[in-house]
Chain A
Amino acid sequence: MLNVNISKIRKLSKKIGGIRAVRNCSFEIKKNSIVAVIGPNGAGKSTLFNLISGVIREDRGKIFFKGIDITKFNPAKRSNLGISRLFQRTQLFKNLTVRENLILAIDNEDTKFWKNIFGKNKLTKEKEKKVKEALKLIEMGDFENIIGRDLSYGQIRLVEFARTVLNPHELLILDEPVAGLNPRLRNKIAERLKRLKREGKTILLIEHDMDFALNLADEVIVLDKGFLIARGTSSKIRQNKKVLNAYLGD
């Protein structure tokens, strides 16, 4: 593992509806690592992810990515710098097919007016291959032409996972990627995440399945009531008294 930080979070705070969801959080994310963020419900994990991906704006603090201060960047600009986000709540384009959902994630050529009007934005073999690989990963090859709203919850989560991975990225932010999935698919996604790490990607992960999260993570960050209460390797976190009291219990 390289000892270079891909992202730095500095004194990040956010109040939501009168509740201080994230309080003065500071940490670094090492490049080419898997970092799990754990904590009880309402600890501020998803708010922290929303802040990093730019979906909501912080009250205080700064976010750096690849050495650039991205605090004022909108989500699209952050995405184009290399941050790809999977949400806890489903965010599928429900009137588009599975295939169309996936193609949208590949690049931004589809936003160029004249190129599209003149039919110059063709689906290349390379893009086609990426879509096929993504469909194979989530075992949904037979569903590529199914409209999003006709999918089950589990299938929607899978398509969203594939879409997030297809979106060009250096940092993947995954909010409960395996919630509601069967053990075989969980293992498959775990393998895919390991492979992404081997390919040089960095992964920030929220997961309530502790075995999944702690077995995968190089580093664990624990949040409670908006505070960062502990960080360290999985084995250290399993023995940390504060964490045991706040979250892992007995």
Chain B
Amino acid sequence: MIEIYFLHLGILLGIYLILSLSLQITFGYTGLINFGHMAFFGVGAYVSALLMISGLPFIIAISLAGVLSALTGFLLATLTNKLRGDYLALATLGFSFVVYNIFINWRPLTGGALGLSGIPAPSLLGLDFSSSYSFFVLIAIITLLVYFLIKKLVDSPLGKVMEAIRDNEMATNVLGKNTFKIKIISFSVSAFFAGIAGSMYAHYITFIDPSSFTVMQLIPIITIVIIGGLASLKGTIIATIVLVLLPEPLRLIGFSNSLIGPIRHGIYAIILLLILIYKPKGFFGKVELE
């Protein structure tokens, strides 16, 4: 039983890692304040769930979940091209509300507030991933793959152009770089991986409803990114492990499940506040929040 519990934590850790590492691409590296990340996560979850429910294989479901989330990211980047800072934050926040309302109101497709249940477990190359152990192995492999791809991107010269946009978009433009194109790449790649995380989440929990993809769910992810440090993948990994595991002792103390959620959000909010005041670069970041 305890083994299942630790595997569950490991799986959650994987999903959170993919979400927070992918948010680093827009937020940490390109300097785009992106509150629309949960919308990409949700699109990935619904696309993958619907495709597998309708009988398509997992590999197609997860791939299309990533691609359609990336297209959503492309759309958001295109719509918000001229916006920076607070205005971009508000626009991405608004976007996430729009997507949330689509999940709620497109009932024939999404099941509305009741959500989708009976989402099949993944199977790949004849292997079944319905057990906690096998699912943990699958998410571990995907998380590692996502980490290496994101690391490859941010360490490449393209990653430096993203950082240049974060530091000074006008100067990057004056050097001849098409900053609109780079922002589209940043949003699309970030959304692609968030969509992959959404797909894994849907097939693990086997039930999704719109409440899993609200801005409230983004708070832990943003907290992780800021605590670990903007533009630091190492910091993101450490912060994810700490923040996902931190509330777990509350269960051992005997708090009921209905209390653990709000207390966890409270802890995240306090940590976030302390970090913003006393350590604006986070623990491993090289960029100060402005």
Contact = CB atoms under 8 A, between A and B. Distances in A.
Interface of A: 53, 55, 74-76, 79-80, 85, 87, 91-96, 100, 103-105, 108-113, 116-117, 119, 121, 147-148, 163, 167-168
A167 B175 contact: yes
Given A93-B164, A95-B286, A96-B160, 11 more contacts: A55-B170, A75-B173, A79-B173, A92-B171, A94-B167, A100-B160, A104-B172, A111-B182, A113-B185, A117-B149, A121-B158
Contacts of B163: 93, 95-96, 100
Contacts of A76: 173-179
A36 B160 CA distance: 34
Contacts of A111: 158, 161, 177-178, 181-182
Contact of A91 (B156, B170, B185): B170
B78 interface: no
B156 A119 contact: yes
B125 to A, nearest CB: 25
B168 interface: yes
B175 A104 contact: yes
B156 A79 contact: no
Contact of B157 (A93, A95, A103): A103
B158 A112 contact: yes
B287 interface: yes
A118 to B, nearest CB: 9
Contacts of A168: 176
A117 B176 contact: no
B231 interface: yes
Contacts of A108: 176-178
Contacts of A74: 173
B164 A116 contact: no
Contacts of B152: 117, 119
B170 A104 contact: no
Nearest to B179: A76
Interface in B23-80: none
Contacts of A119: 152, 156
A53 B175 CA distance: 11
A95 B167 contact: yes
Interface of B: 149, 152-153, 156-161, 163-164, 166-168, 170-179, 181-182, 185, 231, 286-287
A116 B177 contact: no
Given A91-B170, A95-B287, A167-B176, A110 B160 contact: yes
A94 B221 CA distance: 26
A103 B160 contact: yes
Contacts of B168: 91-94
Given A96-B167, A117-B152, A75 B174 contact: yes
Contacts of A116: 153, 156-159
Contacts of B176: 76, 79-80, 108, 167-168
Contact of B174 (A85, A96, A103, A109): A85
Contacts of B179: 76
A53 B163 CA distance: 22
A111 B166 CA distance: 15
Given A94-B167, A96-B167, A53 B157 contact: no
Contacts of A95: 163, 166-167, 231, 286-287
9 contacts: A74-B173, A76-B174, A91-B168, A103-B157, A104-B164, A113-B158, A113-B185, A116-B156, A116-B158
A53 B160 contact: no
A53 B173 CA distance: 10
A91 B171 contact: yes
A117 B174 contact: no
A56 to B, nearest CB: 10
A40 to B, nearest CB: 26
A147 B182 CA distance: 23
B157 A110 contact: yes
B78 to A, nearest CB: 16
Contacts of A92: 167-168, 171
A94 B178 CA distance: 20
